[in-house]
Amino acid sequence: MKVLLLQDVKGQGKKGQIINVSDGYANNFLLKKGLGVVATADTINSIAIHDKAVERQKAEEKQAAIDAANALKGTIVKITSTKGANGKMFGSITNKEIADELGKMGFKVDKKQIALKSPIKTAGNYPVTVKMYAEISTNITVVVD
């Protein structure tokens, strides 16, 4: 019997998969506990349509990330920090401040997308990687005054 899993079942499959199991296992365990439903032609078609929609949405998101990465590539972000009498910075520049500055420049970037090895504590130019999508990233330059 073909069963569409509504939840992950250990040893059988993940949620949304269609598996082939014995009639007794399907009736006495999967269907009875609400872990799956009988996979009819309608459910198989709806799963196929849903999978195509998800695939298309991921492709659109990836293309949008590529476009955003190309627009962001080589951008120079200038951040002014407060310094003491001897020129030492108070605090540090974090990925949140860089994301805020990019937001002011018109780029939609979350602070989690900015990869800083450590907070910036001195003035200067710093190369920073911005991860736009799973395999898509670009480099910007942060100039701290």
Contact 23, 58 (CB under 8 A): no
Per DSSP, the three-state class of 65 is helix
What local confidence, expressed as pLDDT, does residue 136 receive? 92
pLDDT in tens, 23-52: 999 999 999 999 999 999 998 898 889 999
Asked whether the predicted pLDDT for residue 91 surpasses 90, the reply is no
Query: Taking the complete model, does pTM exceed 0.75, yes or no?
Result: no
Q: CA torsion angle for 17, 21, 24, 29 (degrees, to 10)?
A: -30
Edge-to-edge strands of the sheet including 124-131? Answer: 76-79, 137-144, 124-131, 114-115
Give the model's confidence band at 84: pLDDT under 50 very low, under 70 low, under 90 confident, else very high.
Answer: confident
Per DSSP, the three-state class of 89 is strand
Asked whether the predicted pLDDT for residue 85 surpasses 80, the reply is no
> What's the chain's average pLDDT?
92
Domains of the chain, earliest start first: 2-63 (3.40.5.10), 66-144 (3.10.430.100)
Asked whether the predicted pLDDT for residue 88 surpasses 80, the reply is no
Strand partners, 143: 78, 125
Give the whole-angstrom CA distance, residue 80 versus residue 100.
Answer: 13
H helices of 27-138, in order, are 41-72, 95-104
Mean pLDDT of 69-80: 93
pLDDT in tens, 105-128: 999 999 999 999 888 888 889 999
